[in-house]
Amino acid sequence: MTGGAGFIGSHYDRWLLANSDDTIVVYDALTYAGNLSTLRDVDDSPRYSFVHANICDPGALEAAMRGCDLVVHFAAESHVDRSIAGADDFIHTNCFGTSIVMDTARRCDVRRVLHVGTDEVYGSVAVGSSKEADPLEPRSPYSASKAGSDLIALSYHHTHGLDVVVTRCTNNFGAFQYPEKAIPLFTTNLLDGRPVPLYGDGLNERDWIHVDDHCAGVDLVLRRGVAGEIYNIGAGNETPNRTLVDKLLELVGRDESFVEYVPDRLGHDRRYSVDITKVTALGWTRQRTLDEALEQTVAWYRDNRWWWEPLKR
């Protein structure tokens, strides 16, 4: 599990230990968004081990991967605002790093690699929903680097015969998400009595999915997906950011005065939406409504200041 100490990766570690008999090796560079405290509830499991290293280090990666049957590649730089401020780390980790992961998997005779992508590679979708075969139109350095990483991963399938599957998921949220992302940032600000910074007119739409529903989809594609195929994962919760903020205001008990409109982000995509016909055909279904998942998430941040307060400082 590359990037297994990050937000989505750590949830999948937990999901896998609870729902399978697999033994997992978590491989993570522990950059600012990777945090071993996120995994402290599983670090005593005999089926879990941790390797502190970077995916761009071929020797360390091969030593960790040798003998593994499956690889799930979560490791990535993932924050759009940071990519706008400086793209170098995104290109290096997401493109070069993915190439190292795929080539190492090929040399280690790994049975299958699942590469975790994002719906942002499709660009802004005015109407309808993006299908897996649609053209890629990324509009930020982050999404461009992820589009490149998808193509690099799939090239190892077509050129070398490596069994690769790719998932592209919508916006995740849940416990243990680094508080630079929208929902934990908004929630923790409101809990601290601070305003919510809302880009532009607040009407940009995202499809929000609880991270555990995403993890179930990842595992299904890992076990049942067709080699060389791409699978969208989404919850059908396309929601304007302003509506999302209103839901959080109600859950935290704050009023309209806590909303602060700020200048829009450069290249801000208006709307994302994905067609999930392919992953649904494998047997995946969303288990949580947006309102249920938001309520659970806000409660977690309210009860677990020990985790996020040091990160915000």
User: What are the phi and psi torsion angles at 168 (to 5°)?
Assistant: -130, 110
Three-class DSSP labels, 242-279: HHHHHHHHHHHCCCHHHEEEECCCCCCCCECCECCHHH
- The residues assigned a catalytic role are 119-120, 142
Domain range summary for the chain, segments of one domain joined by +: 7-176+210-238+267-290
The fourth-level CATH superfamily of domain 7-176+210-238+267-290 is: NAD(P)-binding Rossmann-like Domain (3.40.50.720)
The DSSP call for residue 2 is B
CB 265 within 8 A of CB 81: yes
Residues in contact with 297: Cβ distance below 8 Å, sequence separation at least 6, in sequence order: 173, 174, 175, 183, 187, 210
Report the alpha-carbon distance of residue 63 to residue 51 in Å, rounded. 10
What number is the average pLDDT over the span 74-80? 91
In this prediction, residue 79 carries a pLDDT of 83
Per-residue pLDDT tens for 257-282?
A: 999 999 999 989 999 999 999 999 99
In this prediction, residue 78 carries a pLDDT of 84
Per-residue pLDDT tens for 91-148?
A: 999 999 999 999 999 999 999 999 999 999 999 999 999 999 999 999 999 999 999 9
CB 153 within 8 A of CB 113: yes
Count of CB atoms within 10 A of residue 253's CB? Answer: 8
What number is the average pLDDT over the span 194-202? 97
What number is the average pLDDT over the span 39-61? 95
Q: How confident is the model at residue 313 (pLDDT cuts 50, 70, 90)?
A: confident
In this prediction, residue 32 carries a pLDDT of 84
In this prediction, residue 34 carries a pLDDT of 84
Angle at 293 between CA 189 and CA 238, to 5 degrees: 90
Report the alpha-carbon distance of residue 140 to residue 124 in Å, rounded. 11
In this prediction, residue 81 carries a pLDDT of 87
Give, rounded to a whole angstrom, the gap between the first and last alpha carbons of the chain. Answer: 29
Position 22 pLDDT exceeds 90: yes
Position 72 pLDDT exceeds 90: yes
